[in-house]
Amino acid sequence: VLLNQLIEDILELSRLDAGIKEGEHRSLDLAELTERILADLQPLAEEKRIGLAWQRPISAVMTVGDPARLARVVRNLVDNAIKYTPVGGSVKVMTALELIDEREFATIWVEDTGIGIPAEYQSRVFDRFYRLDPSHTVPGTGLGLSIVKEIVNAHDGSIQLKSRPGAGSTFIVRLPGLG
Ligand SMILES: Nc1ncnc2c1ncn2[C@@H]1O[C@H](COP(=O)(O)OP(=O)(O)OP(=O)(O)O)[C@@H](O)[C@H]1O
Ligand SMILES: [Mg+2]
Protein backbone atom coordinates (compact mmCIF):
# COMPACT_ATOMS: atom_id res chain seq x y z
CA VAL A 1 0.00 0.00 0.00
CA LEU A 2 2.83 2.37 0.89
CA LEU A 3 4.65 1.54 -2.37
CA ASN A 4 1.55 2.28 -4.41
CA GLN A 5 1.18 5.58 -2.59
CA LEU A 6 4.83 6.40 -3.23
CA ILE A 7 4.52 5.73 -6.95
CA GLU A 8 1.33 7.74 -7.17
CA ASP A 9 2.94 10.64 -5.27
CA ILE A 10 6.01 10.66 -7.52
CA LEU A 11 3.80 10.64 -10.62
CA GLU A 12 1.76 13.52 -9.24
CA LEU A 13 4.93 15.51 -8.47
CA SER A 14 6.33 14.96 -11.96
CA ARG A 15 3.04 16.14 -13.45
CA LEU A 16 3.19 19.23 -11.25
CA ASP A 17 6.88 19.76 -12.17
CA ALA A 18 6.00 19.64 -15.83
CA GLY A 19 3.54 22.42 -15.11
CA ILE A 20 0.88 20.37 -16.79
CA LYS A 21 -2.35 22.20 -16.37
CA GLU A 22 -4.22 19.03 -17.17
CA GLY A 23 -5.90 19.95 -13.94
CA GLU A 24 -9.49 21.08 -14.03
CA HIS A 25 -10.35 24.70 -13.57
CA ARG A 26 -13.79 25.18 -12.14
CA SER A 27 -15.48 26.92 -9.27
CA LEU A 28 -16.01 24.81 -6.18
CA ASP A 29 -17.01 25.11 -2.55
CA LEU A 30 -13.97 24.45 -0.34
CA ALA A 31 -16.28 23.82 2.63
CA GLU A 32 -18.24 21.13 0.81
CA LEU A 33 -15.03 19.50 -0.42
CA THR A 34 -13.57 19.55 3.11
CA GLU A 35 -16.69 18.04 4.61
CA ARG A 36 -16.44 15.13 2.16
CA ILE A 37 -12.77 14.47 3.02
CA LEU A 38 -13.51 14.61 6.75
CA ALA A 39 -16.22 11.99 6.33
CA ASP A 40 -13.67 9.77 4.53
CA LEU A 41 -11.08 10.19 7.28
CA GLN A 42 -13.49 9.82 10.20
CA PRO A 43 -12.74 6.07 10.64
CA LEU A 44 -8.99 6.78 10.76
CA ALA A 45 -9.58 9.36 13.49
CA GLU A 46 -11.86 7.01 15.41
CA GLU A 47 -9.18 4.30 15.38
CA LYS A 48 -6.98 6.68 17.36
CA ARG A 49 -9.85 8.09 19.42
CA ILE A 50 -9.12 11.50 17.95
CA GLY A 51 -12.03 13.91 17.84
CA LEU A 52 -12.44 15.54 14.42
CA ALA A 53 -14.11 18.88 15.01
CA TRP A 54 -15.53 20.46 11.88
CA GLN A 55 -16.54 24.06 12.10
CA ARG A 56 -18.96 24.28 9.21
CA PRO A 57 -19.27 27.79 7.74
CA ILE A 58 -22.65 29.42 7.29
CA SER A 59 -22.12 30.12 3.60
CA ALA A 60 -20.13 28.58 0.76
CA VAL A 61 -16.36 29.12 0.54
CA MET A 62 -15.92 29.43 -3.20
CA THR A 63 -12.64 29.17 -5.07
CA VAL A 64 -11.51 28.06 -8.53
CA GLY A 65 -9.40 25.00 -9.20
CA ASP A 66 -9.01 21.31 -9.64
CA PRO A 67 -11.37 19.51 -7.25
CA ALA A 68 -9.30 16.31 -7.17
CA ARG A 69 -6.06 18.14 -6.42
CA LEU A 70 -7.60 20.41 -3.82
CA ALA A 71 -9.17 17.35 -2.22
CA ARG A 72 -5.65 15.96 -2.01
CA VAL A 73 -4.44 19.08 -0.22
CA VAL A 74 -7.14 18.75 2.40
CA ARG A 75 -6.68 14.98 2.72
CA ASN A 76 -2.90 15.21 3.20
CA LEU A 77 -3.22 17.92 5.85
CA VAL A 78 -5.93 16.16 7.84
CA ASP A 79 -4.14 12.82 7.45
CA ASN A 80 -1.00 14.39 8.95
CA ALA A 81 -2.97 16.01 11.75
CA ILE A 82 -4.35 12.59 12.70
CA LYS A 83 -1.04 10.75 12.21
CA TYR A 84 1.05 13.14 14.28
CA THR A 85 -1.41 13.55 17.14
CA PRO A 86 -1.28 11.05 20.01
CA VAL A 87 -4.25 8.84 20.86
CA GLY A 88 -7.07 10.78 22.49
CA GLY A 89 -6.11 14.14 20.99
CA SER A 90 -8.17 16.37 18.79
CA VAL A 91 -8.11 17.90 15.33
CA LYS A 92 -10.05 21.00 14.39
CA VAL A 93 -10.85 21.99 10.81
CA MET A 94 -12.33 25.28 9.68
CA THR A 95 -12.96 26.94 6.32
CA ALA A 96 -13.97 30.54 5.69
CA LEU A 97 -13.90 33.39 3.24
CA GLU A 98 -11.40 35.99 4.37
CA LEU A 99 -10.90 39.56 3.22
CA ILE A 100 -7.24 40.59 3.44
CA ASP A 101 -6.14 43.92 1.97
CA GLU A 102 -9.34 44.02 -0.07
CA ARG A 103 -8.59 40.62 -1.60
CA GLU A 104 -10.84 37.67 -1.00
CA PHE A 105 -9.44 34.29 0.03
CA ALA A 106 -10.94 30.85 0.50
CA THR A 107 -9.05 29.65 3.57
CA ILE A 108 -8.75 26.38 5.42
CA TRP A 109 -7.25 25.86 8.87
CA VAL A 110 -6.19 22.39 10.03
CA GLU A 111 -5.28 22.47 13.70
CA ASP A 112 -4.06 19.58 15.82
CA THR A 113 -3.01 18.96 19.42
CA GLY A 114 -0.13 16.78 18.31
CA ILE A 115 3.62 16.57 18.74
CA GLY A 116 4.28 19.85 16.95
CA ILE A 117 7.24 20.85 14.77
CA PRO A 118 10.28 22.73 16.11
CA ALA A 119 10.82 26.15 14.47
CA GLU A 120 14.08 25.10 12.81
CA TYR A 121 12.31 22.36 10.81
CA GLN A 122 9.18 24.25 9.88
CA SER A 123 10.32 25.20 6.37
CA ARG A 124 11.92 21.81 5.70
CA VAL A 125 8.75 19.76 6.18
CA PHE A 126 7.65 20.98 2.74
CA ASP A 127 10.76 19.46 1.12
CA ARG A 128 10.45 16.23 -0.80
CA PHE A 129 11.13 13.10 1.27
CA TYR A 130 11.79 15.14 4.41
CA ARG A 131 10.52 13.49 7.61
CA LEU A 132 11.10 14.51 11.21
CA ASP A 133 10.27 11.36 13.08
CA PRO A 134 13.72 9.82 13.54
CA SER A 135 12.41 6.53 14.92
CA HIS A 136 10.00 6.13 11.99
CA THR A 137 7.19 4.96 14.22
CA VAL A 138 4.66 6.59 11.91
CA PRO A 139 4.67 5.26 8.36
CA GLY A 140 4.96 7.67 5.43
CA THR A 141 7.14 8.69 2.51
CA GLY A 142 7.68 12.36 3.29
CA LEU A 143 6.07 13.51 0.06
CA GLY A 144 2.64 14.55 1.36
CA LEU A 145 3.44 18.16 2.25
CA SER A 146 5.62 18.74 -0.82
CA ILE A 147 2.63 17.76 -2.97
CA VAL A 148 0.37 20.01 -0.90
CA LYS A 149 2.72 22.94 -1.45
CA GLU A 150 3.02 22.35 -5.23
CA ILE A 151 -0.74 22.11 -5.65
CA VAL A 152 -1.32 25.23 -3.57
CA ASN A 153 1.29 27.12 -5.63
CA ALA A 154 -0.29 25.91 -8.88
CA HIS A 155 -3.54 27.49 -7.63
CA ASP A 156 -1.79 30.81 -6.80
CA GLY A 157 -2.37 30.13 -3.12
CA SER A 158 -0.15 30.16 -0.05
CA ILE A 159 0.52 27.83 2.87
CA GLN A 160 1.49 28.81 6.37
CA LEU A 161 2.55 26.69 9.35
CA LYS A 162 2.26 27.68 12.98
CA SER A 163 3.56 25.14 15.46
CA ARG A 164 5.21 24.64 18.79
CA PRO A 165 6.66 21.30 19.95
CA GLY A 166 4.22 19.66 22.31
CA ALA A 167 1.54 22.25 21.67
CA GLY A 168 0.39 21.11 18.24
CA SER A 169 0.40 22.48 14.71
CA THR A 170 -1.84 24.59 12.53
CA PHE A 171 -1.57 24.55 8.75
CA ILE A 172 -3.33 27.41 6.95
CA VAL A 173 -3.97 27.33 3.20
CA ARG A 174 -5.23 30.42 1.41
CA LEU A 175 -6.62 30.15 -2.11
CA PRO A 176 -7.85 33.04 -4.23
CA GLY A 177 -11.55 33.65 -3.68
CA LEU A 178 -14.03 34.28 -6.47
CA GLY A 179 -14.75 37.88 -5.47
N1 LIG B 1 0.56 17.90 11.78
C2 LIG B 1 1.84 17.58 11.98
N3 LIG B 1 2.36 17.53 13.25
C4 LIG B 1 3.64 17.22 13.47
N5 LIG B 1 4.52 16.91 12.49
C6 LIG B 1 4.07 16.93 11.22
C7 LIG B 1 2.72 17.26 10.89
N8 LIG B 1 2.57 17.20 9.55
C9 LIG B 1 3.79 16.85 9.07
N10 LIG B 1 4.68 16.68 10.06
C11 LIG B 1 6.12 16.32 9.91
O12 LIG B 1 6.51 16.66 8.59
C13 LIG B 1 7.00 15.50 7.90
C14 LIG B 1 6.62 15.60 6.44
O15 LIG B 1 5.21 15.46 6.27
P16 LIG B 1 4.64 14.81 4.94
O17 LIG B 1 3.17 14.81 4.99
O18 LIG B 1 5.30 15.49 3.80
O19 LIG B 1 5.22 13.33 4.96
P20 LIG B 1 4.75 12.05 5.79
O21 LIG B 1 3.47 12.31 6.51
O22 LIG B 1 5.93 11.63 6.59
O23 LIG B 1 4.53 10.97 4.66
P24 LIG B 1 3.35 10.93 3.57
O25 LIG B 1 2.47 12.13 3.79
O26 LIG B 1 4.07 11.00 2.28
O27 LIG B 1 2.68 9.64 3.82
C28 LIG B 1 6.38 14.33 8.63
O29 LIG B 1 7.16 13.17 8.49
C30 LIG B 1 6.37 14.84 10.07
O31 LIG B 1 7.62 14.65 10.65
MG1 LIG C 1 1.86 13.15 5.36
pLDDT in tens, 85-100: 999 999 999 999 999 9
Number of the ligand 1 atom closest to the C-alpha atom of 85? 3
Centre of ligand 2 from the C-alpha of residue 177, in Å? 26
Supply the residue whose CA is at minimum distance from atom 13 of ligand 1: 131
Residue 159's Cα: distance from chain center in Å?
A: 9
Supply the residue whose CA is at minimum distance from atom 4 of ligand 1: 116
Which ligand minimizes its atom distance to the CA of 81?
1
> What is each CA distance from 80 to 70, 84, 89, 117, 170, in whole angstroms?
16, 6, 13, 12, 11
pLDDT in tens, 109-154: 999 999 999 999 999 999 999 999 767 788 889 999 999 999 999 9
CA dist., res. 113 & res. 116, Å (int): 8
Centre of ligand 1 from the C-alpha of residue 115, in Å? 11
